[in-house]
Structure formats: structure tokens, C-alpha cells
């Protein structure tokens, strides 16, 4: 077991805003980190961790992955493949339109292109 794996033993922990390691990894935009979490997190816990909504904006890890300057389609694909729910979300951030698992657009990108 590597030092990083030993440090991440409690992959199901969340902070006082209900953010878990998937939220932080998704926001960071590293597909390698998402894959490592998928490999290390108990399979029966992955879906609930991916659907956990953080406070106060009720963001899931998928929302975090899309609403970041580090948007990485591979991270989005891995989250969806591992059970992240694809739902419409209205709020201060983005509306998610999934054309394919690797083709993600946000309202922010649409406005920039338009």
C-alpha cells in the first residue's frame, strides 16, 4: 500500500458541507485521481458518494467537475461511468447537457461561444 493509499483509507468521509473526496477530485480536474478513487473506494459506496450533494448549492461531484475552469471531459466520463447521476440543475452555476459522455457543454461555454 502506498503512502497516498494509506492516507485515503477513509474514502467515505465528508466535511461539514457534505463534500467528500469525489467532490474535491472532480473540482481538481484530474482523471488520474478520479480513476484512483474508483479503484480504491468500495464499490457499494461509490454511487452514494457520487450522488452526495454539498451545501449550500447542492452540488454533486459531477456538478463540481463541470462548473470549474479545469473542465476535463475524461473526468466527466469517468464520473458518469462510475454512477454519477446526470440531472438538470438550475441555480447559480450551470445547466448540464450531456450529448455523449465525452461531449459536455455548459451554459457558460455556450455563452462564450455564442
Give 52-109 pLDDT, tens digit per residue.
888 888 889 998 998 878 889 999 999 999 988 776 555 544 444 443 333 444 444 4
Q: Which residue has the cell 471531459?
A: 73
For the chain, what is the domain count?
1
- Whether 73 and 30 have beta carbons less than 8 Å apart is answered as no
Read off the CATH number of the domain in which 17 is found.
1.25.40.20
Q: What is the pLDDT of residues 60-73, one digit of tens each?
A: 999 899 887 888 99
pTM over 0.85: no
CA distance 105 to 51: 20
Range of the domain at 73: 3-113
Amino acid at each position: 500500500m502506498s503512502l497516498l493509499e494509506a492516507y485515503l483509507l477513509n474514502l467515505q468521509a465528508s466535511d461539514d458541507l457534505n463534500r467528500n473526496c469525489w467532490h474535491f477530485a472532480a473540482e481538481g480536474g484530474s482523471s488520474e485521481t478520479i480513476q484512483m478513487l474508483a479503484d480504491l473506494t468500495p464499490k457499494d459506496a461509490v454511487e452514494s458518494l457520487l450522488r452526495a450533494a454539498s451545501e449550500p448549492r447542492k452540488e454533486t461531484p459531477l456538478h463540481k467537475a463541470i462548473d470549474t475552469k479545469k473542465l476535463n471531459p475524461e473526468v466527466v466520463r469517468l464520473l458518469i461511468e462510475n454512477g454519477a447521476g446526470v440531472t438538470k440543475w438550475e441555480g447559480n452555476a450551470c445547466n448540464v447537457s450531456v450529448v455523449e459522455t465525452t461531449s459536455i457543454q455548459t451554459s457558460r461555454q455556450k455563452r462564450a461561444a455564442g
